[in-house]
Structure 1
Amino acid sequence: MDTTASADLEIIDYAPHYQDDLRRLNHEWITRYFELEPADHETLGDPQTHILDPGGFILLARYQGAIVGSGALLHASDGSWKLAKMAVTDQVQGRGIGFALCQAILNRARTMGVARVELVSNRILLPALHVYRKLGFVEIPLGTVMYKRGDIRMAIDL
């Protein structure tokens, strides 16, 4: 990340008044490449129930005063931890914001004692895959995924 971005970037905790930002950021990228699916509407419509209550958390990136990025760590019903709802608005992509956000999520996961984090993405999202690989994620077998757009699964052992 360049020094300008880091001086103007804050990674903050989600609060309910940011729900519209979380929804906007994720709708923006999903509809650019894919279509919104029922699970998107469910999770983004009630992040308290689907992300926070099961023990997960959401972080947001605030750049020059605006909420420009989101990311979450979900505690799935099978006991696994999933990196999800990663989004950075187009206007500020390429400034290291996604990397900083993802790194902050992994750091918090480590402090929580999480041993492994998985994610599902799509192979056309090259910048995102680059960030994940740079942070240490490696491809693992895809298995069953809940989103039609998911065609690659990655994991990192913390």
Structure 2
Amino acid sequence: MSLQIVPFEPALRAHFYRLNAQWLERHFRIEDIDRLVLSDPETHVLQPGGAIFFARLGGHIIGTCALLHESPGVYELTKMGVDETFRGQGAGRRLLDAAIAEFHRRDGQLLFLESSSTLTIALRMYEQAGFVMQPAIRVGSHYQRADVYMIYAPMKHGAPVVDPVA
């Protein structure tokens, strides 16, 4: 079985909720903003110009992530989760790479993510992909659990990058 990254289709909507609810309930709780976005991804992610990807292994949907279009040229990497029983097989990195490729395809100017310092494996993966930790949380963050703010800056890897919007 080979791992495939596939775009959103309505038949996969329940997997978007399931995969995100799994990690959110394990580590935190589902916040109102999560419930809103996960329940209606077409309205809250796709219609504003975002994208959703899924990792498929054989007949199983094992992971997902979204690229949320926040404003012209600005995107958030969000709602990324891999089924706990399939971790360690590269699905998270493949999803991350697909989202970054889509960001570039759209000529994005700023790609960011918000996370939690407790998710050390995910944070390491983001850093390896070119995300740089910022000195403070994002102004106007939607998430109570977010205490990490990172900006995609692969050419400036290792050097401090400051959010031009902050």
How many pairs are equivalent?
152
Moved more, 70-79 or 25-34: 70-79
Normalised TM-score (structure 2): 0.87
| Cα distance, 1:115 vs structure 2 | 2.0
Moved more, 136-145 or 63-72: 136-145
Match of 2:137 among 121, 126, 142: 142
For 1:154, the aligned partner's letter is: M
| Cα distance, 1:96 vs structure 2 | 1.2
Normalised TM-score (structure 1): 0.91
For the 8 Å contact 2:132–2:153, the answer to whether it is kept is no
Looking at structure 2, the residues matched to 157 and 114 of structure 1 have their Cα atoms a distance apart, in angstroms, of 12
Greater relative CO, 1 or 2 (CA 8 Å, sep 6+)? 1
Give 1 or 2: higher helix fraction: 1
Match of 2:116 among 109, 122, 132: 122
Which residue number corresponds to residue 160 of structure 2? none
Which residue number corresponds to residue 163 of structure 2? none
Which residue number corresponds to residue 157 of structure 2? none
Is 1:80 the counterpart of 2:58? The answer is: no
| Cα distance, 1:113 vs structure 2 | 0.6
Looking at structure 2, the residues matched to 82 and 157 of structure 1 have their Cα atoms a distance apart, in angstroms, of 13
| Cα distance, 1:80 vs structure 2 | 2.4
Looking at structure 2, the residues matched to 26 and 32 of structure 1 have their Cα atoms a distance apart, in angstroms, of 10
Is 1:65 the counterpart of 2:59? The answer is: yes
For the 8 Å contact 1:51–1:72, the answer to whether it is kept is yes
Give 4+ residue runs of structure 1 displaced > 6 Å after superposition.
Answer: none
Which residue number corresponds to residue 18 of structure 1? 12
Which residue number corresponds to residue 31 of structure 1? 25
Match of 1:131 among 121, 125, 134: 125
Looking at structure 2, the residues matched to 32 and 148 of structure 1 have their Cα atoms a distance apart, in angstroms, of 16
Q: Percent identity?
A: 36
Q: Relative to 1, partners in 2 of residues 1:11 and 1:110: Cα closer, same or farther, differing over 3 Å?
A: same
Query: Any stretches of 5+ residues in structure 2 without a counterpart?
Result: 155-166
| Cα distance, 1:64 vs structure 2 | 2.2
For the 8 Å contact 2:53–2:99, the answer to whether it is kept is yes
What are the Cα deviations for residues 38-84 of structure 1, in whole angstroms up to 9, with x where unaligned?
00110011101100011000000001220000001001158621000
Match of 2:35 among 41, 52, 58: 41
Which residue number corresponds to residue 154 of structure 1? 150
> What is the root-mean-square deviation of aligned Cα atoms in Å?
1.4
